[in-house]
Amino acid sequence: MVADKRVGILGSGDVAKALGKAFASHGYDVKLGTREPKKLESWSKETAGKVSVGSFADAARHGAFVIVATHGDGTEAALELAGPKNFAGKLVLDTSNPLDLSKGFPPGLLFGVTDSLGERVQRKLADAKVVKCFNTVGSPQMATPKFAGGPARMWICGNDAGAKRETETLLRELGWAGALDVGGIDGSRWLEAMVPLWVRAGQALNTWSHMLQVVT
């Protein structure tokens, strides 16, 4: 259980709504941030628990920890609007993926191998503790995950050991078996690269509730 239960979520899409609903159902005080708060009016009315909506900056200020759930292409712009100083000292969970759909489906990556969105988020929020998390599963499986193969651990990476321990606590609270920590934030290069593969595996298996896991 995390002591300070205020969570800010940057985003108005499926990920922000799924994680917002999940954290609210676990007693967290959730604020979603968007450029257009009006579009989340019905979502906030229909969602049980303590949920509110504001600007990106409102959400970043609100959270004792903050989740980045913005489109890969717009993530750095969203952080600029949110105000990097509003993240100082905080755990930031980055769910975003730099997917390139310019050549259609399945996607590639806008950039990778020598850089990643996780690293760009950490560079932009130099005083925050960024952990890449949730980017490797579909939004319906982010909380209370159910896999035919049994309990699973979430892929994470980040530079701060304490932030990763806090992330694992949050993951367990949402029903994960724990975290699979692949090292520093530069590991985002490979966690983001898993997503075009995840899409191709989904096409091959005709499912979107799967996850890539390691078997030893």
Ligand X SMILES: NC(=O)c1ccc[n+]([C@@H]2O[C@H](COP(=O)([O-])OP(=O)(O)OC[C@H]3O[C@@H](n4cnc5c(N)ncnc54)[C@H](OP(=O)(O)O)[C@@H]3O)[C@@H](O)[C@H]2O)c1
Q: Which stretch binds ligand X (CB under 6 A): 23-31, 74-82, 164-172, 175-183?
A: 74-82
Q: Does 97 bind ligand X (CB under 6 A)?
A: yes
Exactly one of 8, 63, 72, 145 binds ligand X (CB under 6 A); that residue is 72
CA 28 to CA 30: how far, in whole Å? 6
Q: Write out the binding residues for ligand X, residues 140-169 only, by CB under 6 A.
A: none
Q: Does 71 bind ligand X (CB under 6 A)?
A: yes
Exactly one of 7, 8, 9, 11 binds ligand X (CB under 6 A); that residue is 11
Q: Does 116 bind ligand X (CB under 6 A)?
A: no
* Segment holding 210, helix H or strand E: none
Burial-class residue 176 by CB neighbours within 10 Å (0-12, 13-18, 19+). Answer: buried
Give 39 or 85: the residue with its C-beta nearer to ligand X.
39
Cβ at position 1, least distance to ligand X in Å: 25
CA 188 to CA 94: how far, in whole Å? 10
Exactly one of 19, 30, 91, 99 binds ligand X (CB under 6 A); that residue is 99
Exactly one of 77, 101, 126, 161 binds ligand X (CB under 6 A); that residue is 77
Exactly one of 135, 145, 157, 188 binds ligand X (CB under 6 A); that residue is 135
Q: Which stretch binds ligand X (CB under 6 A): 30-38, 42-50, 82-90, 125-133?
A: 30-38
Burial-class residue 189 by CB neighbours within 10 Å (0-12, 13-18, 19+). Answer: buried
CA 34 to CA 178: how far, in whole Å? 30
Tell me, residue by residue from 31 to 60, as one string, x for binding to ligand X by CB under 6 A and - for no binding: ---xxx------------------------
CA 213 to CA 204: how far, in whole Å? 16
CB 142 within 8 A of CB 93: no
Where helices occur in the chain by DSSP H, the ranges are: 14-25, 41-46, 56-62, 75-82, 117-124, 161-173, 188-205
Q: Which positions lie near ligand X, rule CB under 6 A?
A: 11-16, 34-36, 69-72, 74, 77-78, 95-97, 99, 135, 138-139
